[in-house]
A = this chain, B = another copy of it.
Amino acid sequence: MAATQLVNPDLVKERQNAAFSPEHLTYFLYGGPEKTKRKRFLQNLVIEGVKKLGVKQYATVSREEQYEQALQKYAYLVDTERQLGITNSTDKALLHEAVFPCESFPYILQYAAFINPFTMLASEEQKAKWLPLMKNFRLVGTYAQTEMGHGSFLRGLETTATYDPSTQEFVLHSPTISSIKYWPAGLGKTANACIVMAQLITKGHNYGMHAFLLQIRDLDTHQPLSGITVGDIGSKFGLSANDNGFLKMDNVRIPRNNMLMRHSRVLPDGTYIEPKNDRLMYGGMTSIRTDVVGVASRRLCIAVTIAIRYSAVRRQSEIEPGAGEVQVLDFQTQQYRLFPQLAAAYATTFASTTISAFYRTVSPHIERGDLQELPMLHALSAGLKAYTSWTCADGVEVCRLACGGHGYSEASGLPKAYVDTTAACTYEGENYVLILQTARYLMKCCRMLAEGEQVPEVMDFLRPSTSETSRLDARLVMGDLIQAFAHRAARMTRDAAQSMQTSIVKGENPGQAWNSNSVQLVAAAKAFTELHVVRVFAEAVETMRGSLRHVMESLWRLFAVNNIVSSLGDFLVDGYLSTQQVSLLEPAQRDLLKELRPDAVSLVDALDFPDGVLDSALGRWDGQVYEALYDYSLRSKLNEKQVLDAYLKHQRPFMESQWKKHAASAVTSRL
């Protein structure tokens, strides 16, 4: 950060008062001083680079301009990556974050959901033919699975791919309006190709969902090919720079070899060859979901940085009458709103690091066909995707509301952060659908334990415990708090399993029983996921030392206590916590708020977001918020003319018609 900036004195004071070194925490987060230095170099480089492109601030331009600027920025990003020879995913993520801060862009699926699934689904021959075109942007693509009428239930998709042996072609077709492909990112205007998921029909038999490579636009003119109707789906809550699209296929013929044939195949005569193992496809989805955990967590980190810095600068109302207006961060209610979000930001950061590491460990095993860890990885990544996208979206919105009126302005950067985060509750697997997959795994582990089988170590909390009451006392020992989350998750899981059993005994079939207990199952899976997050946050804290350990342990404790207090019934209902133990928690929560107050600004400084990523008048490092807000306002498009055409066209004639009709007296131009 530039040392020469004039920094708001309240922020200067906050930074002087911290009891720990934020720089050390930054090193912890980014993997040491060297990697931190590299992070800063990379992010600052592209932030400056983007400025030189002459693009305007996202919030100040129309959607069409946002789209155009995203194309421009992406070209710059890829050039920069290639010039610097950047290939590792950490560096790439940091560059993306700095070029597209809480913004989507049309090419977002080029790797994640075009090249990657293609690589997993295509034969060696197909890869040799098409991968170079994809990697060098001759083909710009996306993944066309969801349809207007169909989302996460794959078997419900209506698009058909009917094999015609006479020409050795597949005929891709959208038979109904509800079968139109809808939502794929970049599909509307940008992509010239896509992977289409369709019901494969050959020799009169439907073999279910398969993947096909479809060219949709001419590679030179970019005009849609014959039989293809394609376009942008229109304005959305967010993701505005992305041309999420629709695609209607009217008996479009593609060569047989455009079916991706690594796992299953159709021979020239139309004979269908089955895949050896279709579980191999899970890996890719799991990878995207672990990415979503990271993205959601970063958004909350951004929002909490903005809200806490602004709350240190903003002065509003008095605590003692006549003693002057105080920093709003001194209000207990403001701390109560923001500090749990700060704790959640760190908690989900560690959850993200841990699940990514787990994925990197397990995915080579899966690649070589060892699927032992896949169910656990799948359950955990699904649960974490749902839990973190919910937690972070809610948290971003709490931060926005805590910034009062100015939080509602796009100048704050918070609306943009929210719409981007809440989208993650729906895309890549709707959260209820996903968390119920986690619940399914919990039920499976219950059954395994009941039958005396081994479960992964992480699931050991499900074993019957000797203690049905907590040892928690005023010290709020970490282990005792963790044990409370473990006890709750185990009890809720067992209760859900018991209810399932009862439903089945009553005569419901397994599908009905699942549905009629799904609220309980969701609750159990959330409790399990929260236990996991509480644990990994604790494990990270336990590796820290000194003053850093001290402040982070308090933050962890706030996370734990806050989550217990907000679901207090869960812990009281079976008597695990006593009334007396519970009476310790709310005062402890308030004491933790007070204790964390002096370190709050440094705790967000340590997250180390440059101003270019925050993109916020309120969250600036230097705290010069009103100057920035005013500057933002001056750039409003409505201010381009002093008297708008709309005034002459609509306002003036209306006003005249009223005052002339009603014989208003004064017609002077000055009162």
Contact = CB atoms under 8 A, between A and B. Distances in A.
Interface stretch (A269-277, A285-293, A318-326, A549-557): A318-326
A87 interface: no
Contacts of A658: 78, 136-138
Interface in A653-671: 653-655, 657-659, 661-662, 664-671
B410 A237 contact: yes
B573 A565 contact: no
Nearest to A411: B234
A540 interface: no
Given A75-B650, A149-B315, A516-B332, A234 B409 contact: yes
Report how many copies the assembly holds: 2
B401 A425 contact: yes
Chain A: interface size category: 35 or more
A336 interface: yes
A21 interface: no
A120 interface: no
B638 A516 contact: no
A634 interface: yes
A642 B318 contact: no
Interface stretch (A219-227, A299-307, A351-359, A372-380): A219-227
A64 B637 contact: yes
Q: Tell which of A215, A415, A509, A629 has the most Cβ of chain B within 10 Å.
A: A629
Contacts of A345: none
A232 interface: yes
A633 B232 contact: yes
A17 interface: no
Given A133-B664, A137-B655, A638-B67, A626 B177 contact: yes
Contacts of A568: 568-570, 572-573
Given A432-B333, A659-B136, A426 B401 contact: yes
A74 B219 contact: no
A517 to B, nearest CB: 8
A569 B579 contact: no
Given A180-B630, A222-B651, 19 more contacts: A67-B638, A68-B646, A132-B665, A135-B662, A137-B659, A138-B666, A138-B667, A177-B627, A178-B626, A190-B647, A236-B408, A237-B418, A320-B511, A332-B517, A337-B432, A405-B430, A415-B419, A519-B590, A569-B569
